Amino acid sequence: MGMGEEKLQSERVQSVPLEKARTFIPGLDDILEGGLPRGRTTILHGASGSGKTLVALEFVYRGALNGEAGIFVSCEESVEQLRQNAATLGWDLPAQERANQLFLLDGRIRPDTLASGDFSVKGLLAIVSGKRREMSAKQIAIDALEVMLRLFDTPRQVRSEMHALNDWLQEAGMTSILTGRPPSRFSSPFEDFFDSMGDCVIRLDARVSEQVTTRRLRVTKYRGSGTGRNEYPYVIGEGGFRAAPISTVGLRHKPSRRRSRPASPGWTKSSAEAFAEARASCSPGCPARARQSWRAPSRPRCARAERPCSTWASRSRKPRWRAMSAARGWTCRRTSPRAA
């Protein structure tokens, strides 16, 4: 090993995985490989009706159910509307509010507030800060942020408020979700800065193809972590949001330890002593490679052990199969009126 390689080895440090906060939303944590970045900001884009508010509210609600107190700020819907909509999904928001695990804040701006003087997002953040300390809240979701930002007159005001919000989120250290509509062709001043605020960016899309509506989820950005990069279908139904991590689903079941030994002489040595029971074994091969011959000996052994077994031959008919078995000294008999 040269001096350069020794120096490179000495400079290597063990990688530290990014800490994540589980969403407890079925399928979503699999796609995100563990959850959202803890203590950081996630941007959730989606058109009207794509389920942005639902995902943000479900994240805070399920976190509250699992001991992570959270705050939900709505800039578009009233708090009472949120409770009613959640009740249709079987979510009991008032119970979590009474337990001081969930706080719903009406962040809508009234017209008389704008007419009376200058408005700043800092006043809203001051309310959230007090509630965060009182609840020891670790999660926050701010829904329909673009509704509030469009109330400002100049691009300079919008950028100033966005920077103030970004600074507050970083100092608070809360796991946060900001929802908004996807950037349009003619981007507004806040849309250019919106994605750069997030360490994770998720896009929800509802599209119509041949009169059939399909919903898709895609993670376009995740700093410091791997994630599923494909488009994943999702549904909104009873119970809430459900994603289908088609390409990220792993095998979570344990294989059977019970073995079934074939009767072919010498075969057990080349097949790790036996085949796993209740599992499928594949025997590919070209014609005239005795694929049928080595499968058949296991049938007499099963019969002697009084274990039912069957053979499905898609190319050989039953009379031919019986004749081939008889030629090798194997006996096949009918065990039931429908079995062969």
Q: 187 and 266 share a domain?
A: no
Measure Cα distances from 168 to 93, 190, 222, 290, 325 in Å: 26, 17, 21, 72, 79
Q: Which of 80-89, 97-106, 126-135, 307-316 has the lowest mean pLDDT?
A: 307-316
Radius of gyration of the CA atoms of the chain, in A: 30
Least reliable range by pLDDT among 30-39, 56-65, 286-295: 286-295
| 193 has a pLDDT exceeding 70 | yes
In a domain, 338, yes or no: no
Res 266: pLDDT: 54
Answer whether residue 11 is part of any domain.
Answer: no
Return the half-sphere exposure (C-beta side, CA atoms, 13 A cut-off) of residue 152.
19
The predicted structure's pLDDT at residue 296: 52
Q: What tokens appear for 187 in the block?
A: 């981007």
Q: Name the domain boundary from 243, 268, 286.
A: 243
More confident residue, 251 or 211: 211
Higher pLDDT residue, 312 or 217?
A: 217
Closest CA to 146 of 121, 175, 112: 121
Task: Give the confidence band of 338 by pLDDT, cuts at 50, 70, 90.
Answer: very low
Residues 286, 214 share a domain? no
What mean pLDDT do residues 178-206 have? Answer: 79
Let me know whether 41 and 105 are in one domain. Answer: yes
For residue 126, the domain's CATH number is: 3.40.50.300
Residue 234 belongs to some domain of the structure:
yes
Q: Judge whether 124 lies within some domain.
A: yes
Q: Are residues 285 and 312 in the same domain?
A: yes
Assign 79 to helix, strand or coil.
helix
Cβ neighbors of 331 (< 8 A, separation 6 or more) are 300, 325
Q: What is the pLDDT of residue 4?
A: 59
Domain annotation covers residue 10: no
Task: Let me know whether 45 and 161 are in one domain.
Answer: yes
What mean pLDDT value characterizes the chain? Answer: 80
pLDDT at 189: 57
> 318 pLDDT exceeds 80?
no
- Taking Cα atoms as reference points, which of 26, 21, 48 lies closest to residue 36? 21
pLDDT for 150: 79
- The answer on pLDDT for 105 being more than 90 is yes
Say whether both 193 and 301 belong to one domain. no
Q: Domain count for the chain, please give it.
A: 2
pLDDT at 336: 47
Please indicate whether residue 180 or residue 219 has the higher confidence score (pLDDT).
219
Q: Which of 183, 213, 243 is the last residue of a domain?
A: 243
pLDDT of 275 above 90: no
Q: Are residues 95 and 138 in the same domain?
A: yes
Residue that terminates a domain, selected from 243, 270, 302:
243
Provide the pLDDT for residue 207: 86
Please choose, from the candidates 242, 207, 241, 243, the residue with its C-alpha nearest in 3D space to the C-alpha of residue 85. 241
Judgement on whether residues 192 and 302 belong to the same structural domain of the protein:
no
| Domain, as residue range, for 229 | 18-243
The mean-pLDDT minimum among 118-132, 178-192, 227-241, 264-278 falls in 264-278
Domain identity same for 223 and 185: yes
Q: Which of 160-164, 176-180, 257-261, 322-326 has the lowest mean pLDDT?
A: 257-261
Q: Give Cβ neighbours of residue 268 (< 8 Å, ≥ 6 apart).
A: 261, 262, 274
Using CA atoms, how far apart are residues 64 and 98, in angstroms rounded to an integer? 12
Question: Residue 99 above 90 pLDDT?
Answer: yes
pLDDT of residue 12: 64
337 belongs to a structural domain? no
**pLDDT for the residue numbered 148:** 83
Q: Do 114 and 239 share a domain, yes or no? A: yes
In a domain, 1, yes or no: no
Q: Are residues 68 and 109 in the same domain?
A: yes
51 shares its domain with 116: yes
Q: DSSP secondary-structure letter at 261? A: -
Does any domain span residue 252?
no
Q: Which of 62-66, 227-231, 302-306 has the highest mean pLDDT?
A: 62-66
